[in-house]
A and B are shown apart, each in its own frame.
Chain A
Amino acid sequence: MERVSGLLSWTLSRVLWLSGLFERGAARQPRIMEEKALEVYDLIRTIRDPEKPNTLEELEVVTESSVEVQEINEDYLVIIRFTPTVPHCSLATLIGLCLRVKLQRCLPFKHKLEIYISEGTHSTEEDINKQINDKERVAAAMENPNLREIVEQCVLEPD
Chain B
Amino acid sequence: MRLQARGKEGEATFKLDVIHSGKDFWGEGVGKYWKQKCDSWICKSVLSEGHQRTVRKVAWSPCGNYLASASFDATTCIWKKNQDDFECVTTLEGHENEVKSVAWAPSGNLLATCSRDKSVWVWEVDEEDEYECVSVLNSHTQDVKHVVWHPSQELLASASYDDTVKLYREEEDDWVCCATLEGHESTVWSLAFDPSGQRLASCSDDRTVRIWRQYPPDNEQGVACSGSDPSWKCICTLSGFHSRTIYDVAWCQLTGALATACGDDAIRVFEEDPSSDPQQPTFSLTAHLPQAHSQDVNCVAWNPKEQGLLASCSDDGEVAFWKYQRPEGI
Are A139's CB and B54's CB within 8 A? yes
With A134-B161, A143-B53 as given contacts, are A112 and B98 in contact (CB-CB < 8 Å)? no
Are A110's CB and B161's CB within 8 A? no
Are A136's CB and B240's CB within 8 A? no
Are B187's CB and A134's CB within 8 A? yes
Instruction: Write out the residue numbers on chain A whose beta carbons fall within 8 Å of the beta carbon of B186.
Output: 130
Interface assignment of A137: CB less than 8 Å from any CB of chain B: yes
Are A23's CB and B53's CB within 8 A? no
Instruction: Write out the residue numbers on chain A whose beta carbons fall within 8 Å of the beta carbon of B161.
Output: 130, 134
The complex places the Cα of A23 from the Cα of B243 at a distance, in Å, of 9
Are A23's CB and B100's CB within 8 A? no
Interface assignment of B79: CB less than 8 Å from any CB of chain A: no
Contact with A along B278-296 (1 / 0, CB 8 A): 0000000100101000101
Interface assignment of A22: CB less than 8 Å from any CB of chain B: yes
Interface assignment of A7: CB less than 8 Å from any CB of chain B: no
* Segment 1-56 of A: residues with Cβ below 8 Å from B: 18, 20-23
Are B54's CB and A112's CB within 8 A? no
Contact with A along B184-217 (1 / 0, CB 8 A): 0011000000000000000001010000000000
Interface assignment of B263: CB less than 8 Å from any CB of chain A: yes
Instruction: Write out the residue numbers on chain B whose beta carbons fall within 8 Å of the beta carbon of A140.
Output: 54, 72, 97-98, 116
| Complex: chain B residue closest to A112, CB-CB | B244
| Complex: chain A residue closest to B294, CB-CB | A110
Interface of B is mostly: loop
Interface residues contributed by chain A, number (CB under 8 Å): 18
Interface assignment of A88: CB less than 8 Å from any CB of chain B: no
The complex places the Cα of A18 from the Cα of B243 at a distance, in Å, of 8
The complex places the Cα of A110 from the Cα of B314 at a distance, in Å, of 15
Are B240's CB and A23's CB within 8 A? yes
With A110-B294, A140-B72 as given contacts, are A23 and B244 in contact (CB-CB < 8 Å)? no
Return the contact of A143 from the options B72, B243, B264, B285 (Cβ within 8 A). Answer: B72
* Segment 43-76 of B: residues with Cβ below 8 Å from A: 53-54, 56, 72
Instruction: Write out the residue numbers on chain A whose beta carbons fall within 8 Å of the beta carbon of B100.
Output: 136
Are A22's CB and B243's CB within 8 A? yes
CB distance from B295 to the nearest CB of A (A): 8
With A20-B240, A136-B145, A143-B72 as given contacts, are A112 and B187 in contact (CB-CB < 8 Å)? no
Residues in A lying within 8 Å of B, measured CB to CB = 18, 20-23, 72-73, 75, 110, 112, 130, 134-137, 139-140, 143
8 closest A-B pairs by CB: A140-B98, A21-B243, A143-B53, A140-B72, A23-B241, A143-B72, A22-B243, A21-B240
- List 19 additional contacts besides A18-B243, A20-B240; criterion CB under 8 Å: A21-B242, A23-B240, A23-B285, A72-B243, A73-B290, A110-B294, A112-B263, A130-B161, A130-B187, A134-B187, A136-B56, A136-B145, A137-B143, A139-B72, A140-B54, A140-B72, A140-B116, A143-B53, A143-B54
Return 19 A-B CB contacts under 8 Å, by A number.
Answer: A20-B240, A21-B207, A21-B240, A72-B243, A75-B264, A75-B265, A112-B244, A130-B186, A130-B187, A134-B161, A134-B205, A136-B100, A136-B145, A137-B116, A137-B143, A139-B54, A140-B72, A140-B116, A143-B53
